[in-house]
Chains A and B, each alone.
Chain A
């Protein structure tokens, strides 16, 4: 196995692990926020617009971190290791 193939494989694996963590964490966090919002609405339906607003606000603050992780993952994949160029070089 050439060193380029090793770099490409390791980077793709690292990208997969980053996406795993990002997707898992943000899904759990969003789920907690949404379930609490549903509980709050069922308890106090007249406060629904306010609760919706704070739910979206919480999701917005929360979603920043997975998106930062995703951005750094793409940076790793496309800029640091430049996997598409490596792959097309290997295919030759």
Chain B
């Protein structure tokens, strides 16, 4: 088992410098898993009749597309596949920590969840941020940036900070939720390993059941956070692209 958290195996790549090897490897595997899953679900839509696969996953896809249509209107149609893929991909990344402990035991250079690394979540938040800028400028022209000086010109610094904090909070929320989940797991595991005795009472034996609950909590948190990341992306996009009154 991983003894410490926040330490990563590093590779040195030309042009980029040192990278976190375990995060990158885990991300690749999660990417393959998510791509295969999406291809499998997408393939079921090509058949003339509604199959089992489509029926099962129609709920998730319908739900996210309803959210996109609800906040972006008909103009949100091109973004439906992006947000569905984002949700499923982030869900895979968040849940990958459960698999990675056995894989780590077998000697693979895998760490925890890739989203438990700030280097994974910051690019995704920046991706959402840049996408919103590009979409808004393509739709409204450079006049889009007029909203920064509204309702009054002296609100400019506040609006700028508000705008700039969005990717920061988006990245920090996802990162800390997953990271602290793994940290709690490791803290409890170290309590279990240290054989803490309080008089005749073996605290470590009693604490041995706690990791199961922590993994349930992590599953819940990972699902909720993947959904919140997607939903906040949709909300920020709708704030940027809908018409002003």
A residues near B, CB below 8 A?
A: 56-57, 59-61, 63-64, 67-68, 70-71, 74, 79
Contact = CB atoms under 8 A, between A and B. Distances in A.
B180 A74 contact: yes
Contacts of A70: 180
A56 B176 contact: no
A68 B172 contact: yes
Chain B: interface size category: 10 to 19
Contacts of A57: 224, 227-228, 231
Contacts of B6: 79
A67 B183 CA distance: 11
Contacts of A79: 6
A68 B176 contact: yes
A71 B231 CA distance: 24
A68 B227 CA distance: 18
Contacts of A67: 176-177, 180
Contact of B176 (A59, A60, A61, A64): A64
Contacts of A61: 173, 228
Contacts of A60: 221, 224-225, 227-228
24 contacts: A56-B224, A57-B224, A57-B227, A57-B231, A59-B224, A60-B224, A60-B227, A61-B173, A61-B228, A63-B177, A63-B221, A64-B173, A64-B176, A64-B177, A64-B225, A67-B176, A67-B177, A67-B180, A68-B173, A70-B180, A71-B176, A71-B179, A74-B180, A74-B183
Nearest to A75: B6
A34 B177 CA distance: 21
Given A63-B177, A71-B176, 13 more contacts: A57-B231, A60-B228, A61-B228, A63-B221, A64-B172, A64-B176, A64-B225, A67-B177, A68-B173, A68-B176, A70-B180, A74-B180, A74-B183
Interface string B201-245: 000000000000000000001001101100100000000000000
B187 interface: yes
A74 B179 CA distance: 11
B183 A71 contact: yes
A64 B173 CA distance: 6
The 8 residue pairs across chains A and B that have the minimum distance between CB atoms: A60-B224, A64-B173, A68-B176, A71-B180, A71-B176, A67-B180, A60-B228, A67-B177
B30 to A, nearest CB: 21
A11 to B, nearest CB: 15
Contacts of A64: 172-173, 176-177, 225
B13 to A, nearest CB: 27
